[in-house]
Amino acid sequence: MSPIYVIVATPLLSAAILALVPGYRLAARLNIAFSAVTLLAALVLFRTGPAGNALFVVDAFNIYLIALTAFVGLTTSIFSASYIGHEVAAGKLTPRDLRFYHAMYQAFMFTMLLALSANNLGVMWVAVEGATLTTVLMVSLYRTAASIEAAWKYFILCGVGIALALFGTILMYLAAQPVMGPGMAAMTWTELMKHVARVNADILNLAFVFLLIGYGTKVGLAPLHAWLPDAHAEGPTPISAVLSGLLLNVALYAVLRFKMLLAANGEAIAPGPLMIAMGLASLLLAGLMLYRRRDIKRFFAYSSIEHMGIITFAFGMGGPLANFAGLLHMAMHSLTKSAIFYAVGHVAQAKGTQRLEKITGLTVSHPVLGWGLLVGVVAIAGLPPFGIFMSEFLLITSTFAREPLLAIPLTLGILLAFGALVLRVQQLCFGEPGGESAPVRGSLVPLYAHLGLVLVAGVWLPGPLVAWFQTVAALLG
């Protein structure tokens, strides 16, 4: 039996079990244990390599995303255990909320892993829709005015996005059906990839526009990004970490699957210019917006928009180098940004506020945490020797070699964001510590584990991973 069944079934069963567990301490431990089982299965899958059948597909593209999702799922569950303990003590959440929260957490992991591994366009769409529903519920967990408004905005915008994506999916089926006949085959990735060369390119183009806008809303691409900062800022911090670290990647994965179809068709329009435009718009907009943020979680949410812009730009450029950079950047951003949110979660609890100007001198008041946050911000800003430096360097050099004019706004955007990050991190981490300051209780292992991986990836990438990235980079066109 393929480990993929275990990977998908574990979170689903765990969600059902956790919905029945009344005590939140036990539930948090079970949450960690279940996530560990999922990760183990993902590692087995990583060893056995690509496989697939009519229901699931595991290829060079999604195999590393599945492993990454399971890994971040586990580390976030460890972070979450210490985070929620504090929230209960502070009276912000009741044990009943937490029962719901844990069940939703595993349900969310289920939808993520299903979306990544499904071999069917329709199933993937349902999974992404399910992911929207679970995260909307979790964003509104605190039931404050701001969190309900954030969840409402998130639901309305992403609901419309999801609707447009479904329209695109229907068009995709309409395009494939004359060639492949009615039935399931015309909605299956592996079958579509075989026959897509004979599919009508015009409908494919139209479908892709809807899919890009639809799933692009969930990626947080400008001008459809409005939900993202609110949803990150008002929900529990573990959810911010998985939103940035996992959900954005999965939505982008969906877009890229369709891009592969277009690339394999040959006659369809090159989706590059569209993606480049949306990517650059997100990058520049987020770069500028970073300077005016006053809330620490919003600040890093805008940084996520910036990085998704960079990644979309990379895939829009296409070609082996830029695609390679994009794939690497997806993994690196996901690890670094979730690490930063772990740190931010502890910081916000220790300081009792999310307002940027009230948080100062963290390296003095909380050395381990403060330095961790500093290293995370250095990594996300794209400084060596971290993995994000590698991918950004690859992207900028390959862009300069092929399209020097496009490299200018790209570099400008990255520098803008870099400036904002350096400016803020100085104030956050150095200087006199001010305001209230409680000691941090909780594990910092997830934070440093992520940063360690990002550091290792910046210095040395394992051979099979490089080989997979190269295969996928070629398929992406």
Q: How far is the CB of 262 from other proteins (least distance, A)?
A: 14
Nearest CA to 300 out of 201, 183, 220 is that of 220
Kindly tell me which residue out of 277, 288, 291, 295 binds other proteins, with binding defined by CB under 8 A. Answer: 295
Q: How far is the CB of 297 from other proteins (least distance, A)?
A: 9
Kindly tell me which residue out of 125, 142, 189, 302 binds other proteins, with binding defined by CB under 8 A. Answer: 125
Q: How far is the CB of 154 from other proteins (least distance, A)?
A: 11
Q: CA 358, CA 10: separation in Å to the nearest integer?
A: 42
Cβ-contact 300, 344 below 8 angstroms: yes
Cβ-contact 139, 154 below 8 angstroms: yes
Kindly tell me which residue out of 68, 139, 166, 321 binds other proteins, with binding defined by CB under 8 A. Answer: 166
206 part of the interface to other proteins, by CB under 8 A? yes
Q: Which of residues 325-354 bind other proteins (CB under 8 A)?
A: 354
191 part of the interface to other proteins, by CB under 8 A? no
Q: Which of 207, 317 has the CB closer to other proteins? A: 207
The secondary structure of 174-186 as a DSSP string is HHHHHHH-SSGGG
Using DSSP, state whether 361 is helix, strand or coil. Answer: coil
Structure tokens at 147: 């969190």
Q: CA 203, CA 303: separation in Å to the nearest integer?
A: 35
User: Computed from CA positions of residues 385, 398, 331, 298, in that sequence, does the dihedral angle turn out positive or negative?
Assistant: positive
Show the binding pattern over residues 93-122: x = contacts other proteins (CB under 8 A), - = does not. Answer: ---------------------------x-x
Tokens 């890994």, residue located: 71
* Span near other proteins by CB under 8 A; candidates 100-108, 216-224, 292-300, 365-373: 292-300
- Cα angle 283-286-292, degrees, rounded to a multiple of 5: 155
169 part of the interface to other proteins, by CB under 8 A? yes
Q: How far is the CB of 182 from other proteins (least distance, A)?
A: 2
Q: Which of 159, 433 has the CB closer to other proteins? A: 159
Q: How far is the CB of 292 from other proteins (least distance, A)?
A: 7
Q: Which of residues 134-153 bind other proteins (CB under 8 A)?
A: 136-137, 140, 143-146, 148-153
Q: CA 400, CA 325: separation in Å to the nearest integer?
A: 14
Q: How far is the CB of 204 from other proteins (least distance, A)?
A: 9
87 part of the interface to other proteins, by CB under 8 A? no
Nearest CA to 380 out of 245, 248, 471 is that of 245
* Span near other proteins by CB under 8 A; candidates 41-49, 228-236, 237-245, 304-312: 228-236
Tokens 């082996």, residue located: 320
Radius of gyration from C-alpha coordinates of the chain: 21
Would you tell me how many other CB atoms lie within 10 Å of the CB of residue 183? 10
Kindly tell me which residue out of 46, 55, 85, 200 binds other proteins, with binding defined by CB under 8 A. Answer: 200
* Span near other proteins by CB under 8 A; candidates 75-83, 129-137, 360-368, 434-442: 129-137
Q: CA 234, CA 219: separation in Å to the nearest integer?
A: 18
* Span near other proteins by CB under 8 A; candidates 22-30, 75-83, 229-237, 331-339: 229-237
Q: Which residues touch 444 (CB under 8 Å, ≥6 apart)?
A: 342, 346, 368, 369, 372
Structure tokens at 440: 């941090």
Residue 52's DSSP bridge partners are 57
218 part of the interface to other proteins, by CB under 8 A? no
Nearest CA to 336 out of 278, 408, 413, 389 is that of 389
Q: Which of 153, 218 has the CB closer to other proteins? A: 153
Q: How far is the CB of 156 from other proteins (least distance, A)?
A: 6
Using DSSP, state whether 354 is helix, strand or coil. Answer: coil
177 part of the interface to other proteins, by CB under 8 A? yes
> Strands, DSSP E only, in 163-294?
none
* Span near other proteins by CB under 8 A; candidates 9-17, 161-169, 397-405, 454-462: 161-169
> Which residues of the chain form contacts with other proteins (CB under 8 A)?
120, 122-123, 125-126, 129, 133, 136-137, 140, 143-146, 148-153, 155-156, 159-160, 163-164, 166-167, 169-171, 173-174, 177-178, 181-184, 187, 200, 202-203, 205-206, 230, 233-234, 292-295, 298, 354
